Structure 1
Amino acid sequence: MSIRVMMVDDHPVVRAGLRALLEADERVEVVAEVDSGEAALARLDELAATPDGAPDLVLMDLNLGVGPDGIETTRRLRAAHPAVQVLAVTTFDDEADIVGALEAGATGYVLKDSPTEALLAAVQEAAAGRSVLSPEVQQRLIARMTSPGTALSAREAEILEALATGATNREVAKALFISESTVKTHLVHLYDKLGVDSRTAALRVARERRLIR
């Protein structure tokens, strides 16, 4: 029995290349491809209502342009269709993206420049519900676990990502549905973790350590 896959990526050239790679393997069948998070959720509902049912696995890019990103789409997808596995396939190996995707329910996380054999193996593992991570991703998570005092929480990373856009504390609070005082408290904690005393320094160090994009 083949593994039924849906691809979610907003770049048609990338989708075409990935589809060709997957369909060269007789164990894999690509049943759908979409270019946004909203389209992914709608298409999955449609497939789930057909006789063949929902796909076994969704290959999820994280940066989807307009609408919900890959992490939010993964969270909503897994809530609506818990039997469908998600494999994040992306160019980003930032700690915030890795942790965010896994916390949202992704079964695995691999980079787009992974060797063909490694990517196909990841599809097999993720479809079976087994965790799979690129070597680079494993190293980042190991570093996080061995230095827990300096690792940023998912919320702290979200706040830094928002600050990187030039948003004020009030704007960050509104975007994340938390109070401004909560934002300030998180800033105090992450300044301490990064060994800095300003948001400019925090953003610089976070980028150097590839904690954010």
Structure 2
Amino acid sequence: MVTNHTSRPSTSVIKRNRKLAATSLTKIQAKLVIATRNEITAAGMKALLHAAGYRVAAHCTCEDDLLRSLDTYRPDIIMLAETVVGRDAVRVVSRVRDCNFSLAIIFLVECHDAIAASDLLVLDVEGILLSGAACARSFIDCVGSVQHGRKWIDPDLLRQLATAERSSIKRTMMRTLTSREADIAHFVSRGLHNKQIARALDLSEGTVKMHLHHIYEKLGLEGRMQLALSMTGVCGPVEPTAPDLVVAVRR
């Protein structure tokens, strides 16, 4: 039978208890419960965990079984797969916390399109692992880090978030600039001088300078170097709006 608490401890108490629990786990191997509907995934995780010296107490395939296992086995860590919680990840994680607020949770993403990467970061969990890209070493690194009280986020997920952030910045920049300003910014990112840009766009050099001044003001930049870095280092190369502009420069 699952024990439900009428009130949860304060955030500071929860963090302190989790830290104490993690400290005690460094001296012994953790006991885990795996919650996934994928039998192949479960078998693979069991093999890796056993090989690393961890104890797998149970494998659950639904939310109710998972909650019952908390009272039956009192695990130290739960491997909670997205296939068990569906789109109710926040609610299920909250229910698990209500049953055992010091428990460490590793959230396993088995279908990468099921939950947005940004939504994963709001979950109250200690680890996030992408199963498709996870190698054996990453899997054990994640469990070991969580066991020692450290947060662990899959590097592939961090790369996805960084890519999404760059795309968002790029879209914002392009919405801010006019098509002509975007073309000029593109050529600056390619290292062209004002005279070369003017020749490519059939403008006077003074007009190019005026557009650059407007670009700096709109984007809050100090000058040409910051613009070039913003267009390449942060956002990636931005293609000009007119496809024949590159040809014009080469001529």
TM-score bucket (shorter structure)? 0.5 to 0.7
Deviations 1:180-201 (A, max 9, x none): xxxxxxxxxxxxxxxxxxxxxx
**In 1, Cα distance between equivalents of 2:120 and 2:68:** 20
8 A contact 1:38–1:68 mirrored in 2: no
Q: 1:132: Cα distance to partner?
A: 0.9
Counterpart residue identity of residue 12, structure 1? E
* Equivalent residue, structure 1, for 2:127: 108
For the aligned residues, what is the CA RMSD? 2.8
Greater share of helix residues, 1 or 2? 2
Alignment of 1:131-210 (within 5 A): 131-143=151-163, 147=168
- Are residue 80 (structure 1) and residue 107 (structure 2) matched? no
8 A contact 2:87–2:114 mirrored in 1: no
Q: 1:144: Cα distance to partner?
A: 5.4
Counterpart residue identity of residue 72, structure 2? E
TM-score, scaled relative to structure 1: 0.58
TM-score, scaled relative to structure 2: 0.50
Structure 1: state its 5+ residue gaps. 48-53, 151-213
- Are residue 38 (structure 1) and residue 61 (structure 2) matched? no
Deviations 1:38-65 (A, max 9, x none): 2101211223xxxxxx211100110227
SS at match of 2:83: coil
Structure 2: state its 5+ residue gaps. 1-27, 172-251
8 A contact 2:87–2:115 mirrored in 1: no
CA 1:93–1:71: 2 relative to 1, 3 Å = farther
**In 1, Cα distance between equivalents of 2:165 and 2:33:** 32
* Equivalent residue, structure 1, for 2:218: none
CA 1:22–1:101: 2 relative to 1, 3 Å = same
8 A contact 2:34–2:78 mirrored in 1: yes
**In 1, Cα distance between equivalents of 2:87 and 2:162:** 29
Deviations 1:77-132 (A, max 9, x none): 12331111111122234594444444231111111131101110101112233111
Q: Which of the residues 137, 141, 145 maps onto 1:117?
A: 137
**In 1, Cα distance between equivalents of 2:111 and 2:76:** 24
